[in-house]
Each structure stands twice: as structure tokens, then as C-alpha cells.
């Protein structure tokens, strides 16, 4: 059962309870519904986190298999770097080669880490926002379920308050699916192969803009 299913069940419980005698099993069933809601919340959050973990893995693969080779090619094509490397190669000095590589490797690693963090930051922030929104929705669902349980225990109050609580019962999982589909599409576009480094830079900028735009709408 998803959140929307819970709200539908809740609506039926209130509607039926308001126009018929409340069976003695009803409060126990409402409590059991609350227990199932806890399982649903854990599963819902786990699936959301699994989705974003997969997107982070795709970004890491893109960084190492596509972005890094292009960056390294551009980096070692710089005149000063290329000249120093050609000199070391021509002199065939292993110690100088090692010293040179140890000097430039941290610069390449720093650039890789910086670009990776720029790409992951909006993704992580969007994940956090979605999880916070789920927390808020499930908190509301628990509150509604507790109210229903209380009302079923004291059936005389149900009819009087039914309409007011029916207005509180809202829920739409569609918005989450829409956000996740857009994140999926953005990551797919980012990780498509490009034939030069400048295109990767433009793609990275477009990716961060798209994710930040999603954050702004949430």
C-alpha cells in the first residue's frame, strides 16, 4: 500500500464509521493499519535512497571513464606541462619522471574531486529535500491514523468530525515519480559520451542547472 492507498482506506473507514455502527474490531484494524504504515515508510525511503545511490554511481562512472581522460588530455596539452614532459622523456630519467608525476597527480586529483562535488552537491540536496518531504507526509499520515483510531474507539464523535477530517486527507505520490524521472533524465544526459572536453563542461553546467531548478520547485 502506498500513501495514496492509505488515505483512500482512511477515507473509507471514516465514511463507513460515520453512517453505521462501529464494529469492536475496527480500532484494532486501524492500529494494524498504522503498523503497516511504518513498514511502508521504511520501504518508501529505502527505494528513494537506492535511486539516488544509483545516480551517484552513474556520475562516478562518468567522471572516471569520460570526464577524467578528457581533462587529463587537456591538462597535459598545456604548453608548459607538455614541454616539461617532453624534456623528461627525452632525457629518459626515471627519477625525474616519478617526481614530475607526483607533482602533477595531486592537481589532477583535486580537479576531479572538485568537479565531482559540484555535480553531486545538487543531487544530494534534492535527495535530502525529498526525504524531508516524505517525513512530513508520513507524519501527517500517522496523525490522521491516530485520529481515526481514536474516533473508532469513541464512535459517537465520528459523524460530527468526519467531514473536517476528510478535508485533511490528501496525498499524491505522482510528484515524487516526476522528480525522480527528471533526475534520471538529467543524469542520462550528463553521462552521454561527448567528443571533446568543452562539451563536458557545458553538460556539467546544464546538469547542475537542471537539478537546482528541481530543488527550487520543491
Ranked by mean pLDDT, the top range of 2-16, 102-116, 152-166 is 102-116
pLDDT at 83: 84
Distance CA 71, CA 108 (A): 8
Burial class from Cβ neighbours inside 10 Å (0-12, 13-18, 19+) for residue 24 reads exposed
Q: Please give the average per-residue pLDDT across 176-193, as a whole number.
A: 78
Average pLDDT of every residue of the chain: 75
Distance CA 47, CA 37 (A): 15
Q: pLDDT of 139-181, one tens digit each?
A: 887 777 677 666 666 654 444 455 455 454 444 556 667 777 8
Amino acid at each position: 500500500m502506498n500513501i495514496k492507498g492509505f488515505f483512500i482506506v482512511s477515507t473509507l473507514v471514516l465514511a463507513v464509521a460515520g453512517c453505521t455502527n462501529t464494529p469492536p474490531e475496527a480500532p484494532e484494524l486501524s492500529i494494524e493499519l498504522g503498523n503497516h504504515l511504518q513498514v511502508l515508510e521504511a520501504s518508501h525511503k529505502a527505494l528513494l535512497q537506492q535511486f539516488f545511490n544509483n545516480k551517484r554511481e552513474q556520475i562516478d562512472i562518468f567522471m572516471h571513464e569520460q570526464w577524467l581522460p578528457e581533462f587529463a588530455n587537456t591538462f597535459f596539452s598545456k604548453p608548459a606541462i607538455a614541454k616539461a614532459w617532453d624534456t623528461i622523456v627525452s632525457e629518459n630519467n626515471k627519477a625525474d619522471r616519478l617526481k614530475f608525476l607526483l607533482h602533477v597527480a595531486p592537481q589532477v586529483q583535486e580537479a576531479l574531486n572538485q568537479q565531482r562535488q559540484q555535480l553531486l552537491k545538487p543531487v544530494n540536496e534534492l535527495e535530502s529535500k525529498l526525504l524531508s518531504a516524505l517525513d512530513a507526509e508520513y507524519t501527517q499520515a500517522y496523525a490522521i491514523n491516530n485520529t481515526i483510531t481514536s474516533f473508532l474507539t469513541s464512535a459517537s464523535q465520528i459523524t460530527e468530525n468526519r467531514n473536517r477530517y476528510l478535508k485533511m486527507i490528501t496525498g499524491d505520490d505522482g510528484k515524487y515519480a516526476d522528480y525522480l524521472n527528471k533526475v534520471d533524465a538529467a543524469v542520462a544526459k550528463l553521462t552521454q559520451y561527448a567528443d571533446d572536453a568543452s562539451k563536458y563542461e557545458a553538460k556539467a553546467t546544464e546538469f547542475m542547472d537542471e537539478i537546482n531548478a528541481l530543488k527550487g520547485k520543491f
